[in-house]
Amino acid sequence: SAVISQKPSRDICQRGTSLTIQCQVDSQVTMMFWYRQQPGQSLTLIATANQGSEATYESGFVIDKFPISRPNLTFSTLTVSNMSPEDSSIYLCSVDRQETDTRYFGPGTRLTVL
Amino acid sequence: QKEVEQNSGPLSVPEGAIASLNCTYSDRGSQSFFWYRQYSGKSPELIMSIYSNGDKEDGRFTAQLNKASQYVSLLIRDSQPSDSATYLCAVNSAGNQFYFGTGTSLTVIP
């Protein structure tokens, strides 16, 4: 398995502000993934973060709203910008273990926007 | 058609019974199949992976794969109240894309 940590674990934010979520992995990985899970819904992939290149965003997600950094092979950040109540979700960092072709998730960041 | 489909439930079973969770997928070239358990307010936790047709057993859990029918299932024997959670089916497609189902909510009644 993979040991993945995220900070913060939860936050309550005001409309119009931004929040940066950090993700740390216990070993080097090529790709890191950011997911969103809205209340009662399944997982939606926001973007894939590769070290040394721009993140690849899924349809419906844009860099201005969800800028991502990937400064090295064990760390990434996701910023949720200019937040609105519709951004209230759990945000999950995820990595693949290539040797087992398996995807593991961090503990998540529960975001509430007022 | 969604890539991965699950019955959303809710599914209720009495304690000690067998819970059966089902999943179908659309990409015939998919090679890897997974079941995750997600407790309310927590992140998904991998509980089973299966790559070949047939059954794979791990404790009280059995994953079943039928590639011809594009069907994956998870059986939980001797269900316990602690098994109450949402179970997500996931498929790694031929294009190395991970697809998740919407999840099946399971309640085990003491």
> For the segment A52-73, what is each residue's pLDDT rounded down to a tens digit?
888 999 999 999 999 999 999 9
* Chain B partners within 8 Å of A104 (Cβ): 46
Angle at the Cα of B37 from the Cα atoms of B57 and B80, rounded to 5 degrees: 70
Q: Which residue of B has its CA nearest to A37?
A: B43
* A113 touches A14 (CB < 8 A): yes
**pLDDT of A81 strictly over 90:** yes
Name the residue with higher pLDDT: B106 or A39: B106
Among candidates A41, A100, A103 on the partner chain, residue whose Cβ is nearest the Cβ of B98: A103
How do residues B43-89 score in pLDDT, each as one tens digit?
999 999 999 999 999 999 999 999 999 999 999 999 999 999 999 99
Q: Is the peptide bond before A85 cis (omega within 30 degrees of 0)?
A: no
Q: How far is CA B85 from CA A57, A92, A98, B107, in A?
A: 30, 18, 27, 7
Q: Which residue of A has its CA nearest to B44?
A: A105
Contact of B35 with chain A, judged by CB distance below 8 Å, is answered with no
| 3-state secondary structure at position B35 | strand
CA dihedral B40, B43, B46, B47 (to 10 degrees): -20
* B45 touches A111 (CB < 8 A): no
Residue A42 binned pLDDT confidence (cut-offs 50, 70, 90): confident
Q: How far apart are CA B5 and CA B71, in angstroms?
A: 10
- Do the chains contact at B98 and A90, CB–CB below 8 Å? no
Alpha-carbon distance A15 to nearest alpha carbon in chain B (angstroms): 23
